[in-house]
Amino acid sequence: MENKVKVIGAGLAGVEVAYYLANNGVEVELFDIKPNSFTPAHKSKNFGELVCSNSLKSNDIYGNACGLLKEELRKLNSLVIEAGDKCSVPAGNALAVDREKFAEYITEKIKSNKNIKIYSKEIEEINFNEYTVIATGPLTTNKLSKKIEEIVGGRLAFYDASAPIVAFDSIDMQNAFFGDRYNKGNGDHINCPMNKEEYELFIAELLKAERVELHGFENTCVFEGCMPIEVMASRGENTLRFGPLKPAGLDDPKTGRWPYACVQLRKEDEHGSMYNLIGFQTNLKWGEQKRIFGIIPALKGAEYLRYGVMHKNTFINSTKVLTYNYSLKEHPKTFFAGQITGVEGYVESAGSGLLCAIYLERIIKGKTPIKISEKTVLGALTKYITTENKDFQPMNANFGILPPLNCIVKDKAKRKYQMAERSLIQIENFVKENSNG
């Protein structure tokens, strides 16, 4: 049985894959362009570099899905979470870290492992006859990106243009109604009407809102393929009323007429717990999104499971090409892990790498296949990126992707608590199942 794996990329996903496999007796060849070369966003020669923030988000297990995900990863002996805990700095309930110490800790663990050989070079070809994990992240080099395009049979998404997602139970349905345009459909959309005064206020605030500063490598070509709603609004006061806020064909039950403007929301998951704001891709700061989109009456108290983002983010359409164990359907020895699969965020990226490694180690050693429960955050993320979705966009950890409880719990805090308890039981069962061989 072959006992060697090539891992491409030493970001958070790649180091999780390499470390887990090596600690379980698998020989690993880890390839990264550092320190001979760097992407436009990376500066440190160390592995596991955090480039956007020094926070790994909340540590709240019962109130925040990313906090719960971190606890799941602790139980799976994640290197990244171990490094985060070891290198943490005071930040309230968040896991903030000293970024340099964090990367140094990870790099030392990788370099000192006798089963890991490190090569500083750019990989341009993929050998389908050897076990390979591609974990090159959102800034995959151009040559490898072209090769991946050939492998997955389609163009990579070079820019992530995601609209916000809100929790269904936070939508004010007194100010919204179900229905499709001209009643063509099954009435699945949620429609959020606005009158003239509300719309004009919305446009005025949108035009003066603060935007996220783009990095040098995130040039303006992103706007032509998927125009941000604030850019669209700048082209004329009524532009949005003839675009994503078009009211035509939507009869408001309260008035029996079309509203002045109307935002449509689309179901994001099979359970109907998450809804996407159609056409609301945006580059606004997160606080501004909550403030301005809150002008829409039905979204005044909306809970955002994911804010809209626009940045360079190479990812494959995992829903079409990946299996549950992160291997390609057409090439079972080739695996993907990390943000390139469509998971969004540092912790999510690390989690996908660790789960990929667990599955791969079992394959290499001929063990019985196992599958993590979708009732865990890690399992739910995996299901999300491997379930058919024609509007696939990257997803971060949130309670909306978890399947509902067997009973109705109206109190949101209690519902999250029970989901977290259920998840922790499932992750313990997965740990035991994996250790039993």
Q: Which helix (H) or strand (E) holds 293?
A: helix 286-293
Q: Quickly state the pLDDT bin for 56 (edges 50, 70, 90).
A: confident
Residue holding tokens 């061989």? 437
Give the model confidence (pLDDT) of 388-435 as tens digits: 988 888 899 999 999 999 998 989 999 999 999 999 999 999 999 999
Measured CA to CA, the distance from residue 407 to residue 248 in angstroms comes to 38
pTM: 0.77
Measured CA to CA, the distance from residue 356 to residue 381 in angstroms comes to 12
CATH fold of 165-310: Elongation Factor Tu (Ef-tu); domain 3 (2.40.30)
Residues contacting 163, CB < 8 A, separation 6+: 276, 277, 278, 279, 280, 281, 282, 308, 393
Give the model confidence (pLDDT) of 166-196 as tens digits: 999 999 999 999 998 888 878 889 999 999 9
Cβ atoms of residues 433 and 359 within 8 Å: no
For residues 12 and 92, the model is more confident at 12
pLDDT of amino acid 271: 80
Q: Does the fold of domain 165-310 match that of domain 4-156+316-435?
A: no
Helix then strand then coil, in percent of the chain rounded to 5, is: 40, 15, 45
Dihedral angle, C-alpha 209, 55, 12, 34, nearest 10 °:
80
Residues contacting 38, CB < 8 A, separation 6+: none
Extended beta strands in 54-136, E state: 55-58, 88-89, 94-97, 116-120, 132-134
Measured CA to CA, the distance from residue 414 to residue 123 in angstroms comes to 48
Q: Quickly state the pLDDT bin for 91 (edges 50, 70, 90).
A: low
Q: Is the pLDDT of residue 150 over 50?
A: yes
Q: Which helix (H) or strand (E) holds 314?
A: strand 309-315
Pick the CATH number of 4-156+316-435 from 3.40.50.300, 3.50.50.60, 1.10.260.30, 1.20.140.10: 3.50.50.60
Which of 14, 275, 299, 329 is closest to 166 using CA atoms?
Answer: 275
Which of 339, 337, 309, 304 is closest to 322 using CA atoms?
Answer: 337
Pairing of strands 334-336, 165-167: unpaired
Pairing of strands 177-178, 165-167: unpaired
Give the model confidence (pLDDT) of 273-294 as tens digits: 989 898 898 989 999 999 999 9
Q: What is the mean pLDDT of the chain?
A: 89
Cβ atoms of residues 360 and 23 within 8 Å: no
Pairing of strands 304-306, 309-315: unpaired
Q: Is the pLDDT of residue 222 over 60?
A: no
Residue holding tokens 């805990």? 85
Region at 179 (left for phi over 0; alpha for psi -120 to 50; beta for the rest) = left
**DSSP secondary-structure letter at 216?**
T
Ordered by start, the domain boundaries in the chain are 4-156+316-435, 165-310
Please report, for residues 193, 219, 283, 285, 289, the alpha-carbon distance to residue 212 in angstroms, rounded to integers and kept in the order given.
28, 13, 6, 5, 11
Which amino acid is present at 297?
Answer: P
Measured CA to CA, the distance from residue 78 to residue 19 in angstroms comes to 9
Measured CA to CA, the distance from residue 112 to residue 116 in angstroms comes to 8
Tokens describing residue 59: 């540590």
Q: Is the pLDDT of residue 223 over 80?
A: no
Which amino acid is present at 23?
Answer: N
